Structure 1
Amino acid sequence: MGELTSAVLGGESRMWIGGRWVEAVSGEFVDVTDPATGEVVGRVPKGGGKDAARAIDAAFSAFPGWSRRTGAERASVLKRWAEAIRNHRQEISRILTLEQGKPLAESLEEADGAADFVEWYAEEAKRICGETLPGSRGNQRILVIRQPVGVAALITPWNYPATMVTRKMAAALAAGCTVVLKPASQTPLTAVALLKLLEEAGLPPGAANLVTGEAGAIGREMMADPRVRKVSFTGSTETGKKLIRASAERVKRLSLELGGNAPLIVFPDSDLERAVEATIGNKFENAGQMCNGINVLYVHESIVDRFSERLVSRVQSLRVGRGTEPGVRMGPLIDERNLRKVEALVEDAVRKGARVLTGGCRLTGEPHRSGTFYAPTVIGDVTLEMRLVHEEIFGPVAPVVPFREEGEVLARVNATPYGLAAYVFTRDVGRVFRMAENLEFGMVAVNGTSLSVPQAPFGGIKESGQGREGGRHGMEEFLHLKYISLNL
């Protein structure tokens, strides 16, 4: 066990506030458990509103110094952070797997992705540019500059506890903001590990702060404090709407990455094997617990049987187990609550006439007895009356729905209130553009199912959120424009 792993796993971690590792005001701790076994793998402070206030104090005090550093100076700190993450990728991936459940291979990919985001924004820190506009009079000069918004509160989810921290935090720090991070209660240990590495990279005290514990109390303090100028949240649409209402009092700037109902649309001219493999790679990654994960598979009626047969064959070969075991392709769901939701959606579909082609049940025998495992599942004979067509499944269940016409399937998938991601498989160039331009989603992937990369803007429309993460667009979320009119 490496030094970083031993510092985070098995004992009592601390919050990082003002450059110091501290306990909560309450003095209490909460357990972090492995969803594959139910075992306690670590403990974190049970912070609350007073701890959030301490962190905001520290971030506010640190803002003048950090924001006035040059882009190159901020970049040097972020580059050291990225290097440290890469040097400790094995330890980070083990921590991540033990608290979140995903296979080590996926955790390693996530650790690498976390470093990629930090490195990207280290470079972008040096490219914050303004504009000079023509004046309306001969003696007028117009300047437009970009400045950091101030203290940013970052609230991250449990499904990607490494990349969601770095995608938000690196962008904010690169822009010159100082931050207060609240990681998900189920997966705070990965955040602790990342912040330890950021401390070693030489970030000034208070420029980044970590608060763990009671989400409601911490969130209320973040929303109430006028010094918090920006809130970036990834999570459910229900919680996102609450944050919108809470932001009204202070007119806080919000970035929200919320729920989704991503369709996969497979046309008869597509490469069938490629579509099946891409479906497996997306639908069953992280046990289906992915905001931009495929929710419903719409397959043309002329190929639906062949597609389903190939999909079932591949799904049946997926090994399910504890993420630390060799050869495991899928781990557990994050907790009992999520597992019960998936069970309820499948039961509703079967009751209304759906046919389980494979899976369709909780795994309870050895070696799954102590964890929250659900079998990789494919369901046929799915109709629009079933809940899993309209609700975000967030689990390893693939409902297959046949369709006949392009216009029919386009109207059907656009009817959802969500608009995060959509996936299309076709080799018809005209159809590629018709679908990509008319799908009411913030992101569309054609002949593939991978979307999260450092250089591209990730985010949705409608009830899937507002704002973007990734690329230069992600950093602009932490900058405001200032117009300067100069008369000579």
Structure 2
Amino acid sequence: MNASSIKPFRVGAEWRHASDETQILTSINPADGSVAGRVTRATPADVDAAVAVAWEAFHHQPWRHLRPDQRATTLYEIGRRLTAERESLARLQMIDSGKPWKECLHMVDAAAGHFRYYAAVCETWQNEVTSPRGEYFSMALAEPFGVVACITPWNSPIMNEAQKVAPALAAGNAVLVKPSEETPQLALELARICGEAGLPEGLVTALPGLGEDVGAALVRHPGVRMVSFTGGTETGRAIGAIAGQRLIPVGLELGGKSPHIVFDDADIERAVAGVASGIFGSAGQSCVAGSRLFVQRSIYKRFMDQLVTFTRELRVGLPDDANVQMGPLVSQGHRDKVAGYVDLARAEGGTVLIGGDRPRDARLERGSFYLPTIIDGLTNQARACREEIFGPVLVALPFDDEADVIAQGNDTPFGLAAGMWTGDYARAWRVGRALEAGSIWINTYKQSHIATPFGGFKDSGIGREKGLHGLRLYSQVKSMYFGMHAQPMGL
């Protein structure tokens, strides 16, 4: 074992190094199957130590007692350092996750923007003065929980980690980050950058490890006062059950099976590009992917013909090619799972209009690539329409009118996002209000902004990240009353 090539993680002032092969997580580059990196794997014992260090930092470092503008200074500096290391962080994310180069650059930019935004929120946050109902002055204050655990997925590592860490720190907490075992390297870099930016030791700790031991240990630990999780619905349900027993709050951003609707008065050319981007961007590995396409029956064939033609021109290839539009899936195991859903759709009576296989390109043979795939001929009750595939697979269905598409769009356990294309904004308002989803896009798709709340309805989660709601997620409310009575009360 070459110890120098295995990245350690840090708990307080102590570096934790792997002592043997069983203590190593290996990240595989999805583009070619090579080793992207090896990191020391945390254990439940490391979780105990990290929670103790985090509580020590929370209680004895000045962070939570600093004026908001003082905390903001450090958050701005973290954002500046992320930008300064933009290319090296993007390259690490590219080999860790397989995302195309341009997308990786965008995600580092977004991560830096998250810290800048919550620095600004720190500087402008106003506690609430409440209306009195007697001889007193009253107010509601936002207070930190103490130690919060942030468990992140593999599809957008640096961005998802910043989306949690920045508001949790802004609220005054100490933060423990458990990245996905598929993409463990970016969280270590974020923790390093936080320390170099002047964040007191112990306030951010990255714990790379397996969900069943490190993730579970964090959720169950009595020293963890709040849990934020992004990932699959079943895992979120298990975390929610534990949190319910412990009576601690959770933020859960979970799965989706988002309807993407095209009405007959839409700008067809723009809608075709928007639908393709909504499902094939990030190789479909996005919780908000528009994976169920509903096209009004009167234009169904014309639209589908144009969409298939557009899809045929998409450039699938190695992520370091600047012209590539879709890279590999995160692993060969995940690619096989996606392919299995396509086989299931065929068995259920679906017709594959394009894709449905690996690319026939010798340069891509060692990677976990899968072609952008469009299927029709299914009903909304087919498993390919009910279950989250999390890959570049689009199922298309015709619809008749607003009532029909609202009923079909809402006929799902999920409710994360939805989109529509129409020239009638009164219709967009009616349908948008009727759809059960946390984000609705009209004549656009997958737009995201750190200042706008994000989260889901139904099985797609609990709570809201981003915006002012993101800071509230990592805060608990304390009410304070100042008596102004001339006489003792109640006598």
- The TM-score range, normalised by the shorter chain, is over 0.9
AA aligned opposite 2:452: A
User: Counterpart in 1 of 2:487?
Assistant: none
The one of 40, 43, 52 equivalent to 1:48 is 43
User: Per-residue displacement from partner, 1:367-401 (whole Å, max 9, x unpaired)?
Assistant: 12111111111222232342111111211111111
Listed as ranges, the gaps of 5+ residues in structure 2 are 485-491
Picking from 433, 437, 458, the partner of 1:441 is 437
| 1:15 aligns to 2:35 (yes or no) | no
For 2:311 and 2:200, locate their aligned partners in 1 and report how far apart those are by CA, in whole Å: 48
Q: 1:430 to 1:149 in 2, by over 3 A?
A: same
Distance 1:429 1:58 in 2: 54
Give the 3 Å change call, closer, same or farther, for CA 302–60 of structure 1 in structure 2.
Answer: same
Equivalent position to 1:316, from 312, 319, 343: 312
Unaligned runs of 5+ in 1: 1-9
Q: Distance in 2 between matches of 1:52 and 1:156?
A: 16
1:34 aligns with 2:33: no
Matching residue within 474, 477, 484 for 1:478: 474
| In structure 2, distance between residues paired with 1:16 and 1:313 | 51
Q: Give the stretch that moved more between structures: 43-52 or 120-129.
A: 120-129
Q: Which moved more, 1:409-418 or 1:57-66?
A: 57-66
Cα displacement (A) at 1:183: 0.5
CA contact (8 A) 2:380 2:408 kept: no
- Of residues 424-433 and 218-227 in structure 1, the stretch that sits farther from structure 2 once superposed is 218-227
In structure 1, the residue matched to 2:65 is 68
Corresponding residue number in structure 1 for 2:185: 189
> Could you report, residue by residue, the CA deviation over 1:262-312 in whole angstroms, capped at 9, with x for unpaired residues?
010000011111111112222111110000111111001111112112211
Say which of 128, 133, 142 aligns to 1:131: 128
In structure 2, the residue matched to 1:3 is none
Which range moves more in the overlay, 24-33 or 129-138?
Answer: 24-33
- Paired with 2:289 and 2:75, the residues of 1 have a C-alpha distance of 29
Q: Tell me the SS of whatever aligns to 1:43.
A: strand
Q: CA RMSD in A?
A: 1.6
Alpha-carbon separation, structure 2, partners of 1:318 and 1:43: 33
Partner SS for 1:302: helix
Asked if 2 retains the 8 angstrom alpha-carbon contact of 1:299 and 1:400, the reply is yes
1 CA distance for matches of 2:329 and 2:313?
19
Task: Give the Cα–Cα distance (whole angstroms) in 1 for the partners of residues 285 and 299 of structure 2.
Answer: 27
Any conservation in 2 of the 1:280–1:315 contact (CA below 8 Å)? yes
Partners of 2:180 and 2:210 within 8 A in 1 = no
Percent of residue pairs bearing the same amino acid type: 36
Letter in 1 for 2:375: I
2:255 aligned with 1:269: no
Q: How does 1:93-108 map to 2 (within 5 A)?
A: 93-108=90-105
Following the alignment from structure 1 to structure 2, what is the Cα–Cα distance between the partners of residues 94 and 131?
43
Deviation at 1:73, TM superposition (A): 1.3
Query: Is 1:465 aligned to residue 461 of structure 2?
Result: yes
Equivalent residue for 1:120, pick from 109, 117, 120? 117
Distance 2:305 2:10 in 1: 51
What is the DSSP-based 3-state SS (H/G/I as helix, E as strand, rest coil) of the residue aligned with 1:153?
A: strand
Per-residue deviation at 1:163?
A: 0.6
Runs of 4 or more consecutive aligned structure 1 residues displaced over 6 Å after TM superposition? none
Give the Cα–Cα distance (whole angstroms) in 2 for the partners of residues 19 and 271 of structure 1.
58
Counterparts in 2 of 1:190-339, with a 5 A limit? 190-339=186-335
Answer yes or no: is the 8 Å Cα contact 1:301–1:402 preserved in 2: yes
Distance 1:24 1:223, change over 3 A: farther
Q: CA deviation at 1:484?
A: 1.5
Displacement after TM superposition at 1:436 (Å): 1.1
CA distance in 2, matches of 1:387, 1:273: 30
Hey, what's the Cα distance between the residues in 2 that align with 1:415 and 1:357?
24
Q: 1:160 maps to what in 2?
A: 156
Tell me the secondary structure at the aligned position of residue 123 of structure 1: helix
Could you report, residue by residue, the CA deviation over 1:232-253 in whole angstroms, capped at 9, with x for unpaired residues? 0000000001001111232111
Q: Secondary structure at the match of 1:249?
A: helix
**How far does the alpha carbon of each residue in 1:339-392 deviate from its partner, in whole angstroms, 9 at most, with x for none?**
122112211222232221111112364112111111111222232342111111
Alignment match of 2:86 (pick from 64, 84, 89)? 89
Within 2, Cα distance between the matches of 1:361 and 1:267?
Answer: 30
Q: Alpha-carbon deviation of 1:23?
A: 2.3
Distance 1:54 1:404, change over 3 A: same
